[in-house]
Amino acid sequence: MNHRVAGPPGHVIVHGLEGLGLRVIEHLVALGLEVVAVDDGARPGAVQAATAMGATVVPHHDGAAAALGAAGLRDARAVVCLSSTDLGALETALLARRLRPELTVVAQIRNQAVARAVRSDVGILVLDVATIASPAIVEACLGEQGHGLRIADEAAQVRTVMAPHDGLLRDLFGEVLVPLSVQRVDATAESVVCPGRDLEVRAGDAVCLLGPAATWEEVLRSTPPAVELAAVRSPSGQAHGEQGPAGAVRRWGRAVARATDTRLRRALATLLGLGLLSIVVLMLGYREADGTRMTPLDALYFTAETIGTIGYGDFSFRAQPSWLRAYAVLLMVTGAVLAALVYALLTNLLVSQRLQESLGHGQVTDLRGHVIVVGLGSVGVRVVESVVATGTPVVVVETDETNRYLAQVRGIGAKVVLGDATLARTLQLVNLDRARAVAVLTSDDLTNLEVALAMRDWLGERIDVPVAIRLADRRLAATVRQAFGFTHVRSTDELAAPWFVGAALGLELLGTFFAGDVPLLYARVQVTPGGGLDGARLDALTGRSRVLSVRHRGEQEVHRVVRRWTTLEADDEAFVVGPHEELLALLRQDALPSTSGRTGPATSP
């Protein structure tokens, strides 16, 4: 939907055409704004994509000053700096600020120290994709408490539950909980975004709702969660069926299997088999001088003595039949070879374990209820910091042993495993089957998909371990959701782009989150006197945005339950939520004169 809006003269300059730059251009063009993009050497096809969206593209080969001049800096209303490096973004932002001090300049700076310095001393609006996007990824990993946000002075939560039976949303969930999305039981049906309360749902439909925490406590007692766990776990993190002596034996057996390799297990099994055979032979064939037979304990003792070549002070084969003495020779030779092989393999295992402990691997295999983070970039390190802050153990899998963030995450207590997350040995080492969640966050979409598929194959039918995947390409993300059934596919560019657009246009965004598989924004609107929302009824606003609450001018009370006939007046405070494009258009509408065009009627709040 293309929202044509008028506004003060001037275009927006977007410097940088990587994935985030294209998403920002897409949002700006959808708002009806003129966009001039500066190509700083993006991947092939980016220029064509930006041109197809309606942006004018100028090259950057003559330097930042020439590029900004060619982009019309003198007449621009804002500059968004999205270079692939912090240095490039900072250079462009400082130059634009120097040439036009009154201009709104927004820059993506990944280095936190540089970002703080720029914010405090230069006056440039600095945003970081990792800071914006990481909460949605952390929520996917630790999201049993839902997404928390504040509406006015009240804490609220976003949760997803199953519709207990057929009926209207109004009848099933009341007037206090606000429906944000409905995902039908039929996987081929599209999600319904910000539906009215008169929408009919079927039993089993996943309904995402927003409401106060106190209200949720009552709802959750009678409504099943959206995802049923494949294995019900006890507070200790162990699945039922793992308790008691039998469960302890199984756990110890799995621990031994994880701690040893196939060669050592085979050598041990062969040695034990030889020992059992020898016990049986000795009990049947060995005779004392007085004609008595060996007891099982005597046979075990003599077998260990023979294989260990300790000596024959108490038992001896000298007076035994020839066939038993020949067997004794075979037992000594074979036993000595097997014992030496076991000792060698065990020594190799111990040395390997020491090497792994020096790299932090040895502390991983005993972890339970941990979060595995694959890929340690700016987003990955922010996710690690957020998860560690909750007290949840974190294991990082990284292929680059020179990664600059390794020391940082080790310093906050995360365990690091250097290896390929698609290999079974690495997945075994990080104890995937005991993990609480997985976040796959490399910068390459294909790698992320490959890792996610390998992990799901390892987990089998278990669905109690959520796998959050970072995918930049929206079409690929939609395909992955539909074809492979991954429910936590997150695009950092999709989450961050509206924030850069809002900062460039002076809009007040509060947060972003996922309602099911739909990314939503929520924002605060202080109705501008004479603006496009002054005097507007809620049923005249854009279709898929929802007004969560309204505080009228001069009142202290916040009206949580709003009606379709509620009218917004100048200086009213409204909290709204909706899809990115529509909510940005709604916020832009408030800044326009009330004579500007308004969109058609919406569904009822």
- Give residue 41's pLDDT: 77
Q: Percent of the chain at pLDDT above 70?
A: 81
Q: Which DSSP symbol is given to 293?
A: B
Integer Cα distance of 364 and 440 in angstroms: 18
Q: 543 or 271: which carries more pLDDT confidence?
A: 271
Report the length, in residues, of the chain. 605
Let me know the angle formed at the C-alpha of 101 by 99 and 106, rounded to the nearest 5 degrees.
95
- Reported confidence tier of residue 397, pLDDT bands at 50, 70, 90: very high
541, 590 contact by CB (below 8 A): no
Residue 360: both structure tokens together = 């932090």
**pLDDT tens-digit map of 226-244:** 543 333 333 333 444 445 5
- Reported confidence tier of residue 430, pLDDT bands at 50, 70, 90: confident
CA distances from 353 to 178, 343, 429 (A): 54, 15, 11
Q: What one-character-per-residue DSSP string does 446-483 give? A: HHHHHHHHHHHHHHTT--SS-EEEE-S-HHHHHHHHHH
- Give residue 34's pLDDT: 93
What are residue 531's DSSP bridge partners? 593
**CA-wise closest residue to 87 among 40, 137, 129, 46:** 40
Q: Are strands 394-398 and 200-201 parallel, antiparallel or unpaired?
A: unpaired
- The residue ranges of every structural domain in the chain are 1-127, 262-358, 368-486
Secondary structure percentages of the chain, helix, strand, coil, to 5: 45, 20, 35
Q: Which DSSP symbol is given to 559?
A: B
**pLDDT tens-digit map of 74-133:** 999 999 999 888 888 999 999 999 999 889 999 999 888 888 888 776 778 999 888 888
Q: What one-character-per-residue DSSP string does 275-290 give? A: HHHHHHHHHHH-B-TT
CA distances from 72 to 94, 98, 99, 101 (A): 16, 15, 12, 15
Integer Cα distance of 542 and 83 in angstroms: 33
Pick the CATH number of 1-127 from 3.30.420.40, 3.30.230.10, 3.40.50.150, 3.40.50.720: 3.40.50.720
Name the residue with tokens 């996922």: 514
Amino acid at 424: A
Residue 439: both structure tokens together = 């976040």
Model confidence at 268: pLDDT above 90: no
Pick the CATH number of 262-358 from 1.10.287.70, 1.25.40.10, 1.10.10.10, 1.20.1260.10: 1.10.287.70
**pLDDT tens-digit map of 439-480:** 999 988 899 999 999 998 888 877 778 899 998 877 788 788
Neighbour count for residue 477 (Cβ, 10 Å): 21
Amino acid at 80: V
- Give residue 355's pLDDT: 53
pTM of the model: 0.68
Neighbour count for residue 189 (Cβ, 10 Å): 11
Mean per-residue pLDDT for 572-582?
Answer: 83
Integer Cα distance of 312 and 323 in angstroms: 18
Report phi then psi at 3, rounded to 5.
Answer: -95, 105
487, 460 contact by CB (below 8 A): no
Name the residue with tokens 């959701």: 481
Name the residue with tokens 């995450």: 409
Residue 601: both structure tokens together = 């009627």
Integer Cα distance of 125 and 80 in angstroms: 9
128, 192 contact by CB (below 8 A): no
Residue 4: both structure tokens together = 């044509």
Mean pLDDT across the chain, nearest whole number?
Answer: 80
Model confidence at 404: pLDDT above 80: yes
Residue 567: both structure tokens together = 């009218």
Amino acid at 158: V
Same fold, 262-358 and 368-486: no
What are residue 526's DSSP bridge partners? 573
Q: Are strands 573-579 and 437-440 parallel, antiparallel or unpaired?
A: unpaired
**pLDDT tens-digit map of 116-165:** 888 776 778 999 888 888 888 888 888 655 567 777 667 777 888 888 88
Residue 362: both structure tokens together = 């040895």
- The number of CA neighbours under 13 Å toward the Cβ of 88 is 18
Superfamily of domain 368-486: NAD(P)-binding Rossmann-like Domain (3.40.50.720)
